[in-house]
A and B are shown apart, each in its own frame.
Chain A
């Protein structure tokens, strides 16, 4: 499922970029908090810049008579300090100093840090090791402490504080930029530049630098707040700005001495530092979100426990399938990305009987995994949601069931085996713990009983030394062993249906055959139905009784496996079968299917496969093609089907 889900995500993104991608600035303004930050920061900067033009009192003019006036006094909006100086005027002039120092420190740190990072990442090898070890050493110090040590040596003073803060921030830039530069220097365009005879500095500044610029900006926007804060901190301690010069930090430090008698003298400059840093951080977060592609398009949303079901109406089933354990009708599942809807599954009927294996075949992105994962609500919401259809498990409508009911059925009545056993097993728990958990989720067994049962399950899936293997972590097992563990987990509670989503795709061929044989035996022994998702007709022929071929969210052909394999009716089925190599027929041509599956937010009116179909005619594109009966127990969604003879495209 993750395969198809990521496929739809990538198509969603590509679709977005081809249509109207909002500009970075537009995105920034969409973020309300970032906009607020920008406005506050802009105002502060504006006022600070305009300080000489504003009708302010002389910030250094002392007036012993007017000392410690409260805010809102006559002529002194924010009051006066211990020497009778106007706080408003000092605040604005102090902000100027704090801003200048913070921005200068950021620029210095960005310049040297980026240079170190660029050179280390581009040169690699020994230079890289040497530079980065040095950076690591600097980072082994508590940040502020190193700044203190530097100020201690250089002596207190605003400029020295600036240097100290800049130096301790260099590592952040060096590390971030080095990582990106390292990746870039292995890329083709850098090789090309090298081959065209450009010198190293030319490549570094003309080719690599423009590409790391966003990272430099992100790092600047996320560190500038700290730097303003830390320089203010050094001044507060009396190690930065020295009188008569004042920044926000030293104003706060002076005010501290009279905190109890005149708190406004220290509270006001502190509030200003806070407003400044907060606005910078809000803005910085916004800038990072815009420039960091990982965070775009709501990438970090948390899927909830169960897929959302939003059905307008519950379709009535005219002729319920008496033999079916699982009976799905007219299933529709979609994904919403941004403002667009991707109809991943557009109305699918399927049923699985006792001990029967139904295969769903199709390319990645055809919707086969989403169909299967919809049944027990395992499609991530957001962005997925089920918008129509019913799924009956022994007559019970799963889409209408409560969350708790679904939890009870998951793993007990319907269990799952997923594609990549390394990522689907929890890396931090032992195999035994994970099996025991699956058992105890549905059976009230004691710890030791559940463990004994877990060992039996491992034996059942032919894992040698099951008792010892219980203590193994997933990463200590081979791929085939891990998948056996997953199968054992699916068998933990006598499931009536097993949904297997490409269970053999991540395995090599011999292991694949073993796992298939195991699944086949187990379903016969236990009489469990299997819904088997795959893209490989070779696998279908090994295990499936019936098969459904899926394309662009719909079944295009269904029927008995041997019928479809011997005489595919839909041109897409024929093409898929042609993709399977056959042992002993080396002369057989392996045809890749030309073109790509359609993006499911812009499906054509007619046949979705028509653009890639060699037999397509005008009427194929004109109107929706219904799925129709095609001989005994077969259906096909094609108005010009192949009639049994070998498909020669």
Chain B
């Protein structure tokens, strides 16, 4: 098992390299003079020349990539011209906020998605099943940025249960209860779509599994129906749902862009939106790279969990 996990870790390295290539290539698509694009329209000719030299923009593309990659491996993602600070510092600071938000959402959507899916499958064709199926469809179809606004209107403006924006109260905040208070609405909003997807898939997976021969064997043994469903069927269904939870990590990390903007959460998503409108491309590049790398690691974790559950994969 340890050997399998280390093998998976090693296999993630080429994927991470692939990410750097794609990010590099996307940035190479910038129309016009990249140095001007990176430094903004008020760049002095001296600065442009310096950046051209630093990034090796006068050299062939492959060498440019190597220079960029070497810098990257040294933790140098360049400087943000709008913030006038190293990209890596800004990105890492922002990323911790995103991780709190996305991580909480991922836990919420896994728990509620699995529960809803199992209940729906166990009570197939009942009213409970129909209601869950319909709610799930609503969850998948609702624009999360709009849902966020609605929740703010209802729970922050009208009921005043939760704050409308930010991560901490400006005065006297900063502790865990304060964080959770601020986290609730954005985390729930962000989890809605992924919950729907996971619930749907869990329902299908449970229905598939409950038709399997080994379920009939469990029943033939005289195992209680509760154990048949929650031990035998659920464990087998989980094996197919776990990779999808890994994929949902990507949707949650991506969806954070909307939610952070709506709730003014100081994460990487709201940073990216701002960086794109100010055309701070190095900041965009750094942000995209870090989030994509995090996604690879989330998927890796899902793989490992799946292997722990399924001995056939070892």
Contacts and interface: CB of A to CB of B under 8 A. Distances in A.
Interface of A: 1-2, 136-138, 140-146, 148-156, 225, 229, 232-233, 236-239, 252, 256, 259-260, 263, 266-267, 270-271, 273-274, 277-278, 280-282, 285, 300-303, 305-306, 376, 378, 380, 403, 407-412, 415-416, 418, 420, 423-429, 437-438, 441-442, 473, 475, 486, 489, 492-493
B29 A239 contact: no
Nearest to A143: B254
Interface stretch (B42-50, B52-60, B213-221): B213-221
B119 interface: no
A423 B212 contact: yes
Given A238-B273, A473-B311, 6 more contacts: A143-B251, A145-B272, A149-B285, A252-B145, A410-B222, A415-B220
Interface stretch (B166-174, B181-189, B228-236): B228-236
Of the candidates B145, B149, B250, B273, the one having the most CB atoms from chain A within 10 angstroms of its own CB is B145
B239 A239 contact: no
A153 B221 contact: no
A138 B227 CA distance: 41
B203 to A, nearest CB: 9
Interface stretch (B19-27, B66-74, B79-87, B105-113): B19-27
Given A150-B26, A424-B213, A416 B220 contact: yes
Closest 7 CB pairs of A and B: A270-B146, A144-B254, A411-B222, A142-B254, A142-B250, A278-B141, A410-B222
A151 B253 contact: no
Contacts of B254: 142-145
Contacts of B122: 302
Contacts of A415: 220-221
Main secondary structure of the interface of B (DSSP, over half): helix
A582 B144 CA distance: 71
B210 interface: yes
Contacts of A305: 219, 225, 228
Nearest to B223: A441
Nearest to B15: A140
Contacts of A1: 216
Contacts of A300: 204, 207-208
Among A155, A225, A271, A302: residue with most chain B CB under 10 A: A302
A302 B211 contact: yes
B214 A282 contact: no
B61 interface: no
B276 A152 contact: yes
A323 B295 CA distance: 68
Given A140-B15, A237-B257, A282-B137, A302 B121 contact: yes
B26 A259 contact: no
Contacts of A380: 211, 216
Contact of A425 (B152, B217, B279, B312): B217
Contacts of A416: 217, 220
B138 interface: yes
A152 B279 CA distance: 7
A148 B26 contact: no
Given A270-B143, A277-B143, A407 B224 contact: yes
Interface in B112-129: 121-122, 124-125
Q: State the main secondary structure of chain A at its contact with B.
A: helix
B35 interface: no
18 contacts: A137-B18, A143-B251, A144-B257, A145-B291, A148-B284, A152-B275, A152-B284, A153-B281, A233-B143, A266-B146, A270-B143, A274-B143, A300-B208, A301-B207, A424-B214, A428-B311, A429-B235, A489-B221
Contacts of A150: 26
Contact of A142 (B149, B232, B295): B295
Given A274-B143, A428-B239, A141 B22 contact: yes
Contacts of A424: 213-214, 216-217
Contacts of B93: none
Given A149-B288, A301-B124, A302-B211, A229 B310 contact: no
B277 A238 contact: yes
Contacts of A153: 26-27, 29-30, 281
Contact of B312 (A2, A225, A266, A473): A473
Given A140-B19, A475-B312, A438 B214 contact: no
B261 interface: yes
B255 interface: yes
Contacts of A427: 214, 236, 310-312
Nearest to B254: A144
B149 A267 contact: yes
A252 B276 contact: no
Contacts, number: 240
A263 B146 CA distance: 11
Nearest to B28: A153
Contacts of B207: 300-302
Given A274-B146, A300-B204, A438-B221, A142 B292 contact: yes
A227 B270 CA distance: 21
Contacts of B30: 153
A412 B222 contact: yes
A278 to B, nearest CB: 4
B258 A442 contact: no
Nearest to B250: A142
A145 B253 contact: yes
A475 B153 CA distance: 55
B208, B216, B279, B295, most chain A CB atoms within 10 A: B216
A577 B199 CA distance: 52
Contacts of A232: 143
A428 B124 contact: no
B309 interface: yes
Given A237-B258, A238-B273, A273-B146, A378 B228 contact: no
Contacts of A238: 273, 277
Contacts of B236: 426-428
Contacts of B281: 152-153
Given A239-B277, A423-B213, A407 B295 contact: no
Contacts of A229: 141, 143
B250 A143 contact: yes
Contacts of A273: 143, 146
A437 B223 contact: yes
A401 to B, nearest CB: 13
B13 interface: no
B140 interface: yes
B227 to A, nearest CB: 8
Interface in B187-214: 204, 206-208, 210-214
Contact of A423 (B214, B232, B235, B284): B214
A369 B125 CA distance: 28
A1 B282 CA distance: 63
Contacts of B149: 252, 256, 259, 263, 266-267, 270
Given A137-B18, A153-B281, A428-B309, A410 B220 contact: yes
A489 B223 CA distance: 12
A236 B261 CA distance: 10
Nearest to A472: B311
Nearest to A440: B223
B124 to A, nearest CB: 5
Best-surrounded residue of A149, A150, A285, A437 (most CB of chain B within 10 A): A149
A256 B223 contact: no
B131 interface: no
A119 to B, nearest CB: 21
Given A140-B292, A425-B217, A281 B140 contact: yes
